[in-house]
Amino acid sequence: MQMRIGGKEVSTSEEHWIPVINPANGREIDRVPEGTIYDVDDAVRAAEAAFDGWGRHSTRERGMVLFRAAALVRNRHRELAGLLTSEQGKPSRDAIDEIRGFANILEFYAGISGTVHGEYIGLGQSGDCLVRHEPLGPCGAIIPWNMPAIIMGWKIAPALLAGNTMVFKPASLTPLTVLSLAAIMEEAGLPPGVLNVVTGTGEGVGEAIVRHTTIRKISFTGDIETGIRVGELARARLKDVHLELGGSDPMIVWKDADVGKAVDGAIRGRFYNAGQTCTAVKRLYVHEAIAEEFIPVLKQRVEALHVGDGSNPTVDMGPLTGKIPLERIEAVVREVRDDKQGKIITGGERLVGTGYDGGFFYKPTLITEPVPGCPLLRDEIFGPVLPVMTFPDLDTAIGQANSTRYGLGASVWSRDISVVKEVFSAVQAGVIWVNRHLTLPPEIPFGGVKASGIGRENGLQAYYSYTRTKALFMNW
């Protein structure tokens, strides 16, 4: 596939290509141009040229384009989900959910398009003031490979509704779904140049977007270390910056929890998308009063997960999205085994043999009794490996939940309102779920505290974050 700049398919100014690999079998399915700083320049020029016209439409008119695009995406959800599975690996039904989720985000923002407006401030004898929320201009968005459609929706929908234009960089592992969705947005009436997609590396295309002086805001989702660099580069150029970074979400199962539901929640929370989700359950804390019942049921359910090519409808968990993500997980578990940092009670190795040839498959893995402070608990583990701990009381569970540098999401499983209230107040995170984990409808503001990020996706807050105020002070 080609890049999309100024409403056209564009090849690279140099003849370098990035292969796109199906992670279920290691075969090349397509290739995209390795864009350059000149391509970024062209994309920014296109975004700048389109800004004036797009910004002059009413918010309702822009919302109608989002509505039409959502309808086209819903009509083609099977084809788009097939593409997503083939480049990213997640099972077909999860890919369908993600594509519909993209449409849902567009619909949410289209739905609020008639309700967002400015303010009037009466100042008595001194006069009257009107406050307008204006778009910022061309904005840059850079995203990872784990949920390309959803994260694209989180970034483009509020930004475009507010009247901004964009230069968008997908991850090199998963550019195809993003390029296809961008083409559909134009088919729905998005004027050329409003949304430009430049493919390429992070160091090349990514940094060129962040450094470009015309880009007014950067919205970045990815790893903490990359986010720190992006933040520094953007701030040094006085750009607004939004960072959605890593997470190590704790799930706390209190002694009164419904064990069946909590086991379901832990399985979905950790093994959805082969564990490659920012808000996955990355540390499981089970009250010691129910641990003897809970852990064997969890183990049995983990061992029953069907791992394989996501295009097979009976598969529960697909491959990791690439060789590097797989090697990272292998290294983490090897260290646990070699340094006796915990007990691997199931999994702990790659899946090889018939059905797995050439693919990046890893067995769903449970590790009990991890050594406090070990990398498995300290760092973000982006794959299907779940450490399970027990705790005697709520203070201990909350202390352990807060013991990392992350603060994205957390969940508590209980019917006791005093436990829920305590967790809600004391656990440091941007979202706390009760008797669920993972779900993020576009109505709910979402983002991290501590090293998990700055700013919020979703909700009205994201819309206003793509605007700045301009006040008119009238003295009659």
Residue 306 bridge partners (DSSP): none
The distance of closest approach from Cβ of residue 448 to ligand NAD in the complex, given in angstroms and rounded to an integer, is 6
Closest Cα to residue 346, out of 360, 362, 325, 358? Answer: 362
**DSSP string for 115-151:** T---EEEE-GGG-EEEEEEEE-SEEEEE--SSSHHHH
Which positions lie near ligand NAD, rule CB under 6 A? Answer: 142-146, 151, 169, 171-172, 202-203, 206-207, 210, 221-223, 226, 229-230, 244-247, 278, 380, 382, 408, 448, 453
Furthest CA-CA distance within the chain: 81
Residue closer to ligand NAD (CB basis): 105 or 230: 230
Instruction: Count CB-CB contacts under 10 A for residue 179.
Output: 22
Dihedral angle sign, alpha carbons of residues 255, 259, 261, 264: positive
Catalytic residue list contains 187: no
Compare residues 186 and 207 and give the one whose CB is closer to ligand NAD: 207
Closer by beta carbon to ligand NAD, 171 or else 284: 171
Q: Could you say which of 278, 282, 363, 374 is catalytic?
A: 278
Q: Indicate the residue type of 374.
A: C
State the Cα–Cα distance between residues 70 and 279, nearest whole angstrom. 25
Q: Which of 87, 98, 207, 457 is catalytic?
A: 457
Question: Does 155 qualify as catalytic in the annotation?
Answer: yes
Q: Decide if 130 contacts 119 (C-beta within 8 A).
A: yes
Instruction: Decide whether 63 or 448 has the Cβ nearer to ligand NAD.
Output: 448
Which one from 87, 90, 98, 155 is the annotated catalytic residue? 155
Q: Is 443 a catalytic residue?
A: no
| Whether the Cβ atoms of residue 369 and residue 341 lie closer than 8 Å to each other | no
- The end-to-end CA distance of the chain, in Å, is 59
User: What is the number of helices (H) and of strands (E) in the chain?
Assistant: 15, 20
Within a 13 Å sphere around the CA of 197, how many CA atoms are in the beta-carbon half?
A: 30
Q: Catalytic: 134? A: no
Nearer to ligand NAD, 87 or 207 (CB): 207
Instruction: State residue 172 phi and psi, 5-degree precision.
Output: -65, -25
The residue nearest ligand NAD at its CB is 202
Amino acid sitting at position 288: E
**What minimum distance in Å lies between the beta carbon of 188 and ligand NAD?**
25
Give the nearer residue to ligand NAD in terms of CB position, either 223 or 422: 223
Which of 87, 244, 363, 380 is catalytic? The answer is: 244
CA 205 to chain centre: 20
**Catalytic positions:** 155, 244, 278, 457
